[in-house]
């Protein structure tokens, strides 16, 4: 629907390598035919579902295809950022796990520098989208790597002209433990990195979630099992409410990844009814074959929300961004300028 395509939007939860579209994967496969990779291994089509575990296998395949600075630059600058911009996303926080690849000489520092270069290229070109970067910690890699990642993010927080704004904690929620990562996250907090943490994505994370909520994080990714109806607790919900921690909610991702049984049972409903800041996001638009317009439209049709309500939702997402107040003001002005074209 045109309304959702034209609606100015804020995307706060997008993993770089999960956002690579089928078209771009084609290009990458063409460049690396020896890997013998098929499309069915990288994207989950309409109506298809995978277990969360299978979703994480998909990322491994994409990582094989994106393993040089050249790949990262091409994927980010020529495709992912451009596609978000074409979908009327006006502000984007991309997140990605810096990877070292011994075979190609890719370093973690070079990885981050390349994403920053891609963002800068799009900016210089005058693309109508403000892009920032969150450095991701993959939880399965443990304490030491988390600490090193925070140190790297800290360097870039000071040297990237405001492009690196924070930190993400992601990776397979069934592996690793949050408690071991706490010192790294505390350090991140102390040096002024904003934090978005994947929390309660699966049901078994109650204790860890409770612990990490005490930081508290600046935003929560998914938070699928926070509320009592699905095995969370009122205590967890109260902590989220008390600190007014915005949630990043990804409908298609959760249904296709089977952590949520159906769209109508998505926890968007619970938090939206409470009037709690909830931001609709894509998670992995390539892997889950979606885009942000589709996610807005899906939320509207599933929960019976009007265009006016969806406008308000996209506008309120501005309050949740990690970039400074001046950027929020610019975005609010942009929304005000665009409103007459949509209503
Ligand atoms: P990258 O960090 O390589 O740009 O993007 C892919 C990575 O993002 C995955 O390897 C995984 O660590 C993380 N990721 C992507 N989608 C999800 C998700 O739905 N849940 C969690 N916990 N991590 C994810």
Nearest CA to ligand 1 atom 24: 171
Q: Is the pLDDT of residue 47 over 90?
A: no
DSSP 283: B
Q: Report the alpha-carbon distance of residue 2 to residue 164 in Å, rounded.
A: 32
pLDDT at residue 204, rounded to an integer: 85
Report ipTM for this prediction: 0.99
Burial of 246 (0-12, 13-18, 19+ CB in 10 A): buried
For range 118-125, the mean pLDDT: 98
Crossing angle (nearest 10°) for helices 142-159 and 178-190: 20
The pair of three-digit structure tokens given for residue 304, joined into one six-digit string: 């019976």
Q: What distance in angstroms lies between residue 124's CA and the mean position of ligand 1's atoms?
A: 28
Q: Is the pLDDT of residue 45 over 90?
A: no
Which numbered atom of ligand 1 lies nearest the CA of 99?
3
Which numbered atom of ligand 1 lies nearest the CA of 59?
10
Nearest CA to ligand 1 atom 11: 171
Which numbered atom of ligand 1 lies nearest the CA of 171?
12
Q: Domain map of the chain by residue range? A: 2-342
Which numbered atom of ligand 1 lies nearest the CA of 66?
3
pLDDT interval class at 42 (50, 70, 90): confident
pLDDT interval class at 273 (50, 70, 90): very high
Give Cα 116 distance to the centre of its chain: 17
2-342: CATH topology is TIM Barrel (3.20.20)
Nearest CA to ligand 1 atom 12: 171
Q: Which residues line ligand 1 (CB under 6 A)?
A: 15-18, 59, 96-97, 136, 138, 170-171, 173, 198, 201, 253, 283-284
Q: Report the alpha-carbon distance of residue 195 to residue 330 in Å, rounded.
A: 23
Q: Report the alpha-carbon distance of residue 32 to residue 71 in Å, rounded.
A: 11
For range 191-219, the mean pLDDT: 96
pLDDT interval class at 50 (50, 70, 90): confident
pLDDT at residue 49, rounded to an integer: 87
For range 237-241, the mean pLDDT: 98
Q: What distance in angstroms lies between residue 311's CA and the mean position of ligand 1's atoms?
A: 28
CB of 146 within 8 A of CB of 96?
Answer: no
Phi, psi (rounded to 5 degrees) for 9: -135, 160
pLDDT interval class at 38 (50, 70, 90): confident
Nearest CA to ligand 1 atom 10: 59
Catalytic residues: 201
């Amino acid at each position: 629907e045109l309304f959702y395509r034209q609606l100015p939007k804020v995307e706060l939860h997008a993993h770089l390598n999960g956002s690579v579209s089928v078209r771009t994967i084609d290009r990458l496969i063409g460049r690396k035919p020896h890997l013998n990779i098929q499309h069915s291994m990288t994207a989950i089509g309409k109506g298809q579902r995978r277990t969360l575990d299978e979703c994480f296998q998909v990322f491994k395949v994409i990582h094989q295809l994106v393993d040089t600075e050249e790949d990262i630059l091409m994927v980010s600058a020529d495709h992912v950022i451009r596609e978000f911009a074409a979908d009327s996303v006006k502000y984007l926080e991309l997140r990605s796990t810096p990877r070292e690849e011994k075979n190609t000489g890719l370093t973690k520092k070079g990885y981050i520098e390349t994403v920053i270069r891609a963002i800068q290229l799009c900016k210089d070109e005058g693309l109508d989208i403000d892009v920032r970067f969150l450095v991701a910690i993959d939880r399965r890699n443990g304490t030491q790597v988390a600490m090193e990642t925070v140190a790297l993010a800290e360097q870039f927080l000071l040297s990237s002209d405001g492009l690196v704004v924070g930190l993400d904690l992601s990776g397979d929620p069934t592996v690793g433990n949050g408690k071991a990562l706490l010192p790294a996250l505390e350090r991140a907090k102390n040096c002024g990195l904003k934090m978005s943490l994947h929390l309660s994505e699966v049901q078994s994370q109650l204790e860890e979630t409770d612990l990490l909520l005490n930081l508290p994080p600046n935003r929560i990714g998914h938070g699928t099992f926070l509320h009592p109806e699905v095995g969370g607790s009122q205590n967890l919900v109260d902590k989220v409410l008390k600190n007014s921690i915005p949630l990043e909610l990804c409908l298609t991702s959760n249904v296709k990844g089977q952590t949520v049984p159906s769209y109508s049972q998505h926890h968007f409903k619970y938090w939206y009814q409470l009037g709690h800041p909830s931001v609709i996001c894509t998670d992995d638009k390539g892997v889950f074959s979606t885009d942000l317009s589709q996610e807005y439209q899906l939320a509207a049709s599933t929960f019976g929300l009007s265009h006016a309500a969806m406008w308000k939702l996209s506008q309120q997402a501005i309050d949740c961004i990690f970039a400074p107040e001046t950027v929020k003001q610019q975005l609010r002005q942009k929304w005000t300028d665009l409103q007459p074209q949509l209503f």
